[in-house]
Amino acid sequence: MNKEFSIHWFRQDLRINDNPSLNYLSTNGDNIVCIFIYDEINCDRQLGSAGKVWLHESLNYLNEQLDNKLLIFKGDPQKIFDEIFNNFNVKKVCWNRCYEPWRIKRDFKLKSNLKKKVNVKTFNASLLWEPWEITKNDGSPYKIFTPFYRRGCLNYKLPRKPESQKISFFNHTMKSINVKDLHLRKQISWEEKLIHKWKIGESHAYNIMKSFFSEGIKDYSEGRNFPNKKNVSRLSPYLHWGQISANQLWYEAEKVRPDVSEENIDIFKSELGWREFFYNLMYHFPEIQSKNLQTKFENFPWDENNNYLECWRRGKTGYPIVDAGMRELWETGYMHNRLRMITGSFLVKNLLLHWHNGEHWFWDCLCDADYASNSASWQWVAGTGTDAAPYFRIFNPITQAKKFDPTGEYIKRFVPELKNIPTKYIFEPWLCPIDVSDSIGFKIGIDYPYPIVDIKQSREKALNAFSSLKTVNYEK
DNA sequence: CCTGGAGTTGTCCTA
DNA sequence: TTAGGACAACTCCAG
């Protein structure tokens, strides 16, 4: 009756294929029982709204894959494991590692406690290289991407090859709560909208990967800059939740030669390298989410302006490309990378609002919200990171729009009130002559806002603020 | 320890 | 119209 089994603890590895922990248990012939624990107790930041929706759908999908054998728990993992050990005959507990500082702290303690009772094994399922493996020769962490990637990663051993096998799951008699009992969904229309934009689950991730490597990758290095083109993979949410692995993507990219140029392949792989870099930074600088990596920014004169912030969040800044990006985020739980830079730069440089505001909003709205990538990228945009853009690199939303959305189609897709404006004026609708706007029944200031800040003045203000910071730092 | 080259994604002005 | 340099100086990194 009380037959011995081993536990695979699902975390951010919500897949069956290329799952090292599952493969290990399966190869050993263990009776495998899968659990998921929703831990709101030990984390330093609750999941964002979009992340909760994604998780809810993913768990339902995963449970189906497992013939409804997935066990769902909520609470402190230590207590949950204690309870399981008291009632069942557990042989091993295995999981794939996570790297968020709060998780490292929790798991370190948990692992040593569990080890007193059972065998515990952990694996790397989500990174190409462990963050502690890639360091400079003197053992200290890299702070610049290029040497990190070229010398640190590419000269290190090859990433683990993806490996899949048929896994069978034990017919256990354990009881747990249901996915809906986690209350990840609030049943509001915003969530419905998100779900209709995505097919959530492991096999969908695989299909998207396949179609990306037969289409988008061909002009990836150029096309990825254009939000209206289909050259980016849009796999980031799946990658975050482990529905596809970085290793699968890495080696799939190797397979498309010679149909795809070396440059496209290399640039795609380097994007995976950026993800590694962010995890590496998070590992070595665990306060990356809250503290400026460059300490001189402690003195930076950020503005506080709730009106500006709300305009930015809702996509009502009066700059069409910025508003389109912010509304893409709200409508779809995703934002094209080019837009993440444009909207980020606008918040931090033109509105002079603290990058924490942007980091929080993105965390709440992005399906791919990732502790490492989100924090590190915001620090990059703000210029507070280790490998930051020069402070004078301030994106001009008009120039960027003309360059990367020349037909205005992306803008019109997400800012429908501008859909009848001639392309000539779509980037600066306040310049649209009266006779033109009258003829299409458009009223600037009513149908669409005037710009909330002047681009030239706000740029000057930012340049002054950033250079004053330099002086302050110098005098110290 | 010293040296020298380099640093994701830009903008603006000038010739 | 367009191409090139300035925008700061600093720190990082490897030889």
Question: Domain containing A136 — which CATH number?
Answer: 1.25.40.80
Read off the pLDDT band of A187 (50, 70, 90).
confident
Q: How far is the CA of A192 from the C1' of C10 (A)?
A: 49
pLDDT digits (tens, 9 = 90+) for A305-343: 999 999 999 999 999 999 999 999 999 999 999 999 999
Q: How far is the CA of A196 from the C1' of C10 (A)?
A: 48
Same domain as A411, residue A370: yes
Q: Which of A229, A258, A284 is the last residue of a domain?
A: A284
Residue A275 lies in a domain: yes
Q: Which nucleotides of B are covered by protein (CB under 7 A)?
A: 6-12
pTM for the whole structure? 0.96
CA angle at A51 for the pair A182 and A127, rounded to the nearest 5°:
115
Q: Which domain holds residue A138?
A: 127-162+201-284
Residue A151: CB less than 7 A from any atom in strand C? yes
Residue A403: CB less than 7 A from any atom in strand C? no
For residues A138 and A44, what is the distance between their CA atoms, to the nearest angstrom? 32
The residue with tokens 């980031």 is A236
Read off the pLDDT band of A471 (50, 70, 90).
low
pLDDT digits (tens, 9 = 90+) for A16-65: 999 999 999 999 999 999 999 999 999 999 999 999 999 999 999 999 99
Same domain as A321, residue A227: no
Same domain as A403, residue A318: yes
The CATH number for A80's domain is 3.40.50.620
User: Which residues 429-448 of A interface with strand B at a CB distance below 7 A?
Assistant: none
Q: Which residue is nearest to nucleotide C9 (CA to C1')?
A: A470
Q: How far is the CA of A466 from the C1' of B14 (A)?
A: 25
The three-state secondary structure class of A122 is strand
A472 has a pLDDT exceeding 50: no
What is the sign of the dihedral through the CA atoms of A350, A354, A355 and A361?
negative
Q: How far is the CA of A117 from the C1' of B9 (A)?
A: 51
Q: How far is the CA of A285 from the C1' of C13 (A)?
A: 19
Read off the pLDDT band of A473 (50, 70, 90).
very low
The CATH number for A430's domain is 1.10.579.10
Residue A180 lies in a domain: no
Q: Which nucleotides of C are covered by protein (CB under 7 A)?
A: 7-14
Same domain as A439, residue A387: yes
A469 has a pLDDT exceeding 80: no
Count of domains in chain A?
3
Query: How large is the average pLDDT for residues A282-294?
Result: 94
Same domain as A333, residue A275: no
For residues A31 and A258, what is the distance between their CA atoms, to the nearest angstrom? 43
pLDDT digits (tens, 9 = 90+) for A87-121: 999 999 999 999 999 999 999 999 999 999 999 99
Q: Which of A69, A104, A125 is the last residue of a domain?
A: A125
Q: What is the largest CA-CA distance in chain A?
A: 83
Same domain as A144, residue A247: yes
Q: How far is the CA of A114 from the C1' of C10 (A)?
A: 48
Residue A191 lies in a domain: no
Dihedral pair phi/psi, residue A72, rounded to 5°: -110, 130
Same domain as A323, residue A280: no
Taking each helix axis as running N to C, give the angle between helix A337-345 and helix A355-365, from 0 to 180 degrees, rounded to the nearest 10: 150
pLDDT digits (tens, 9 = 90+) for A403-452: 999 999 999 999 999 999 999 999 999 999 999 999 999 999 999 999 99
Contact A335/A325 with Cβ under 8 angstroms? yes
Residue A289 lies in a domain: no
Q: What is the 3-state secondary structure (H, E, C) of A93-126?
A: EEEECCCCHHHHHHHHHHHHHHCCCCEEEEECCC
Same domain as A250, residue A365: no
Residue A386: CB less than 7 A from any atom in strand C? yes
For residues A195 and A206, what is the distance between their CA atoms, to the nearest angstrom? 18
Residue A170 lies in a domain: no
Q: Which of A102, A125, A148 is the last residue of a domain?
A: A125
Q: How far is the CA of A446 from the C1' of B10 (A)?
A: 32
Residue A137: CB less than 7 A from any atom in strand C? yes
User: Which residues 445-474 of A interface with strand B at a CB distance below 7 A?
Assistant: 455-456, 459
Contacts of A152 (CB under 8 A, 6+ apart): A134, A135, A136, A142
Same domain as A221, residue A139: yes
Same domain as A217, residue A73: no
Same domain as A276, residue A418: no
Which nucleotide is nearest to A467 if distance is taken from CA to C1'?
A: C8
Query: How large is the average pLDDT for residues A164-171?
Result: 96
Same domain as A138, residue A59: no
Residue A326 lies in a domain: yes
Residue A428 lies in a domain: yes
Read off the pLDDT band of A2 (50, 70, 90).
confident
Integer CA distances (angstroms), A70 to A58, A171, A436, in order:
12, 11, 60
Picking from A85, A74, A168, the residue whose alpha carbon sits closest to that of residue A120 is: A85
Q: List the strands of the sheet with A5-10, edge to edge.
A: A71-74, A32-38, A5-10, A90-96, A119-123
Q: Given its phi and psi angles, is residue A408 left (phi above 0), alpha (psi -120 to 50 degrees) or beta?
A: left
